[in-house]
Structures are given as structure tokens and as C-alpha cells.
Amino acid sequence: MAKNLKIGLFGFGCVGQGLYHVLKNSKGFKADIVKIAVKNKTKQRPLDKSVFTFDKYEILDNPEIDVIVELIDDAAEAFNIVSYALSKGKHVVTANKKMVAQHLQELFDLQHKNNVSLLYEASSCGSIPIIRTLEEYFDNEQVEKLSGIFNGTTNYILTKTISEKLSYADALKQAQEKGFAESDPTNDVEGFDAKYKAIILALHAFGVFAKPEEVLNIGITTLHTNDITYANEKNYKIKLVPTVKKLNDNQVSIFVLPKYVNADNHLYSVDNEFNGVIVDGEFSGEQFLKGKGAGGHPTGAAVLSDISALSYGYKYEYKKQHQNPDLEFTNDVFIKIYFRYNRLIDLEKLNFEEITERYSGGNYNYVVGYVALENIINNKDYILKNNLFVALVGEEIQQTLKNGKSENKKVSLSINA
């Protein structure tokens, strides 16, 4: 029988209010929000003042509160709250993907040490139940690859650049006006948000721990009209796609890049603020999940799902981590990319192993071909500084090319954010 939970809530912004609304209107589940911790003492709020507190320990040290729900923006303070709550033996639900990704190993250890549950479905892909799917449906089937659209803001912008022929700047402005993008959209448009989610999902899909500073993320800030024209000519759409792929018995690659997708790809039809996830299983093949990736209600619904699961004593089992204890993260792969460049020196920087398509004319130059992921990592700052554009083409991610140029060496790189 489900337990009637007492909740201590941190944060009452878009997601916090969304949770309050869906909890209040839920017909099949009841839980009480005992107290809500907020930061701004002068802000007007739609609930009675007695519900709110400005002292986090009034919630964290309250023995009547069973579950801490953390929904604040500050990742550092979120970790302080969550780690303290876990150490006090309280169950925690969070939507903070940056905090979870940055402290994944520590949070994993804290749960087991204190025999408590930390659930974070809402941290990854909005309303799509992807973590629970990986934990339950794919618990004993090997996942070969995980990819998708994990960020609704960038997908909205990219949709507008293709369907309405807007420039990147105009599409971003429209996304901000609609509330999909923050005034400072860096976290979304440069691919950090998608990277954090990919790192979290990599643990549940493959059992591998990866550090954010080791994983490549390049977003859509250098997108140019010429890149959009290329997409239109080839009947592609541009999506920002995190890719997590098992390479062999002991290595997994993770990176985030824009990608040209064709009409055969499930992600082709995922537009506006929607997210989509493709899970490629060893026996079941491709599974595709689609849902809203932005907004208070979709994320609030995911948080509510975790709270409901806690009422039945649910915990992540992390079976993949136990099944694949030797699996490690690597950047030692070759990928096929489109690369728009300005000068030959730009092209030389990436040191392509093989070029399959080339165009040069006036102020527009590009190549399509195979390049070592390490070369993109090492030149990330150069690419962004010189307004160059890199995008994945096709599905090929390989450790050894046909010409045998890969030395298959193991690398551990730190990437400047």
C-alpha cells in the first residue's frame, strides 16, 4: 500500500509551481507539501506565507518530512541540499541535471551508504520516462546506442530555422519571447544541458560514469544560413543530438553535436519544444519515445511520478553498473561530420582522415568526411572563436577506419568549457 508522503520542497519557480499544480490536481495519488524553501523574501507568491521558509534546515532537519524535492537553479547549493538530505536518511527527488551529472558518482555512493533513494527522472528529457524505461524495460537487455533530442529550447530554435527560414538570431529571440529560452541561453544552445542529460542516461543505459569536463559538447551558436541551405538542399533537418554508443566490451563514447538527420530518422519529425529519445537494444532493436521537453507541467509531472514511486519504496537498481563494472568512457573514435570552414588552415586543424564530399566557392566552404573525435575536442575553442560549424552526418561511429589509421589508443581529455 502506498504511503502518504510528507514533502519538503526547495524552489517555487516554474517547475515548483508546476509540481504544486499537478500534485493538487492528481486523482490517483496524494501527498502533502509541508514546507517550501525559497530564496527571495520580497517576491509575491500565490500561496499563504506560512507555507514558505527561508531557512533550509527547517525542512532538512524536520523529522516529519519523508521526502526532499529539490527544484532550484543553483547546482552547487542543490548538491549541498541533496547530499545533506541523503546523509540524514531522507529520500530525495530532484530535477537538477547539472548537479546530478557533476556529482553522479558521489550521489550513487551516498544512496547506497545511507540506504535511501534518489530519483531524478525529471532531470532528463522532460515528461519522457526514459530513466525508468532503461531501469525496468532494458534492465537485462544490452543497449547498443542511445541518442535523441534532449533539449526543447534548441529544438525549437532549429525547427524555426528550417520550417520558417528564420535566422538563428531571430529564432532565439522568438524562443526567449515564448519563455522556452532564458535571457542567457548558453546552457541550452551550447549543448551543456544536453550533455548533462547524456551523462546521466549513460549510467542507466550502460553503467558507465563520465565526467562533464571529459565529454565534448558543441551547440548551435555558430549556425549560419549556409548550413541551413545545405540542410534544405539535402532534405535534412538539423537537430542537436547527444550520442551515447557502446563500442566494444569495455568502452562507451559520449558526445553532443548538431546533426543532419534525414526523413528515415525518428528525430526528423520531432519539432518545436518536443524531445525524442532513441534506444537501440541488442534484441528489441530501436525503441522511440517522444514527449514535451520544456515547461513547468511536463517536468512537474515527471517529478510527481518519482514522488509516487517513492511512496511504494522504489529505488534505482543500477543493474547496468553491476553488469558492466569494467565499462569505461572513451573519446577514441572516428565520426563522420560536415565542417564549414573559412580558410585552409581551419581545415588543416581537424586533420580529416578521409573526405567524401567537398565544396568551395566564394564565402562558403565545407567538407564532409571522417575525423577523430579527439581532433574536434582539441580544437573546440578554435571552432567557436572562428565561427566555424561542425555537425554529425550519418550514424557511423567507429574506432578503426577502413584505411586502418586508428591506433585504437585510450585517451583521457579535459575540455575547456
Contact 213, 219 (CB under 8 A): no
Cα(189)–Cα(202) distance, rounded to whole angstroms?
21
For the question of residue 195 being annotated catalytic, the response is no
Alpha-helix runs per DSSP H in 29-127: 57-60, 75-87, 97-102, 104-114
The label of the residue with cell 531557512 reads 55
| Cβ count within 10 A of residue 295 | 18
2: left (phi over 0), alpha (psi -120 to 50) or beta: beta
Residue 95 and residue 302 in contact, taking contact as beta carbons nearer than 8 Å:
yes
Cell reading at 132: 525508468
The DSSP bridge partners found for residue 360 are 365
Query: Are the C-beta atoms of residues 259 and 241 closer than 8 Å to each other?
Result: yes
As separate numbers, helices (DSSP H) first and strands (DSSP E) second, the chain gives 16, 17
* Residue 370 Cα distances to 125, 264, 352, 392, angstroms: 30, 22, 6, 10
**Helix boundaries (H) for 207-293:** 225-233
| Of the candidates 358, 377, 360, the residue with the CA atom closest to the CA atom of residue 368 | 358
Please choose, from the candidates 202, 241, 217, the residue with its C-alpha nearest in 3D space to the C-alpha of residue 328: 202
Choice among 35, 97, 160, 197 that is catalytic: 197
Residues 140 and 319: beta-carbon distance below 8 Å: yes
Q: Measuring CA to CA, which residue among 166, 274, 277 is closest to residue 220?
A: 166
Nearest one of 275, 254, 154, 119 to 198, comparing CA atoms: 254
b vs e for 144-170, b when ≥16 Cβ sit within 10 Å of the residue's Cβ?
Answer: bbbbbbbbbbbbbbbbbbbeeebebee
Residue 296: phi and psi, rounded to 5, are: -65, -40
| CA–CA gap between residue 358 and residue 349 (Å, rounded) | 16
Residues 150 and 197: their CA atoms lie apart, in Å, by 7
Which residues are tagged catalytic?
Answer: 197
